[in-house]
Amino acid sequence: MIDNRKRVWMCLWASIVCIGIYDSNAQSDKRGNKIQTAIKMSAKQLLNDPKINAVSIGVYKAGRAYSGHYGELDKGKGNVPNDATIYEIASVSKSFTGALVAQAVIDKKLSLEDDIRKYLEGNYSNLEYQSNPIRVKHLITHTAGLPKFLPASINALFNNIDENLPFRIYNIEKAYTREAFLKDLKTVTINIVPGTQYRYSNADVELMAHILEKAYNLSFEKLLLKYITGKAHLKSTKVHLSNQEKRRLANGYGETNKLVPHFANTLWGAGSGIKSTLPDLINYMKFQLDDNNQAVKASHQVLYAQENMQMGYLWPILNSSEDGTYYRIHGGAFGTQNFLMIVPKYNLGISIITNQSGPETQPKLLNALNNLFAKIK
């Protein structure tokens, strides 16, 4: 038999355990409600802008996912975005490519110190400066000295930025091929020692995709599937969509809310060609926060640092005395802009997307992202 004193202690212990479980659930619900409210407030902040019609926001924190879709994809049609909506994520694609390069290093398929000409056929004697060759590590830190775009004719178009710029770029890109890219690469002039100066370049990343294909003897799309989208359960994340998936691809709108084209993606798509859904991006945050993923951990290492600028494997790296080291990348297409943020200290990821793009869109999204981060970290 249990004496009264033991019975009292057992009941007291049971009540403490029950109270602890109750408080834990209550705290979890309270935190979840706080995050969901903060998401709604951030979306409302953006939708108050007459140029922004739709917003999708996703948060992954401490093992739980939160999301919300707001507004309408096409003004006046009432078509609210949802979990099936596919967005162009533009330069956020680069973080995927960075992870693939890290995996290739682990697999000993290539080295960061490799002269990139090891993977190019033909004469590319121009891809060096003062006997200093472009190496793999230079492509993934934007320090190779390559132009921002190939073909070079696209670079000049930015001298006249107006609402028709997306159409002018699209008309050039839709007829551009991988073969033309590699041919134009032979005409590039390098005028800096590779690795010494940061110069953002989409050409860097497209060339990196070609090198990955050569190293593995697999297409860039198959590498994405094998090492990232398949592992992380990203069901609708890819460069080339099926006809059925294309019907789910959000229309994009430019500076004056004019319907604009999607990217042509005639090259590899490694720099800006990936499309995704919000649920997939939340799973991608989980993938990027996985301490057991050696490729991800490697891709977060600093490869280049100058003043306040740090780069990992195509990941911009930031540091804060309060928030620790974190990673934030922006993607801008003709008619879509988004930010993806990974903050390991809080086991936190945030994605914020709108299907509108203009010179003012990036700072608006960044402001909303920072406000949301401050409320939920």
Q: What is the DSSP string of 127-172?
A: SEETTEE-BHHHHTTT-S---SSSSTHHHHHTTS-STTHHHHHHHH
Residue 210 identity (one-letter amino acid): H
Confidence at 52, pLDDT banded by 50, 70, 90: very high
Q: For the segment 230-275, what is each residue's pLDDT rounded down to a tens digit? A: 999 999 999 999 999 999 999 999 999 999 999 999 999 999 999 9
Confidence at 31, pLDDT banded by 50, 70, 90: confident
Q: For the segment 277-331, what is each residue's pLDDT rounded down to a tens digit? A: 999 999 999 999 999 999 999 999 999 999 889 999 999 999 999 999 999 999 9
pTM score, whole prediction: 0.91
Size of the chain, expressed as the number of residues it contains: 377
Is 238:231 a contact under the CB 8 Å cutoff?
no
Listed by start position, the domains of the chain span 41-376
Q: For the segment 195-238, what is each residue's pLDDT rounded down to a tens digit? A: 999 999 999 999 999 999 999 999 999 999 999 999 999 999 99
Q: For the segment 114-151, what is each residue's pLDDT rounded down to a tens digit? A: 999 999 999 999 999 999 999 999 999 999 999 999 99
CATH class entry, domain 41-376 = alpha beta
Q: What is the DSSP string of 227-295?
A: IIITTTT-TT-BSS--HHHHTTBPPEE-TTS-EEPPP---S--TTT--EE-HHHHHHHHHHHT-TT-HH
Q: For the segment 164-178, what is each residue's pLDDT rounded down to a tens digit? A: 999 999 999 999 999
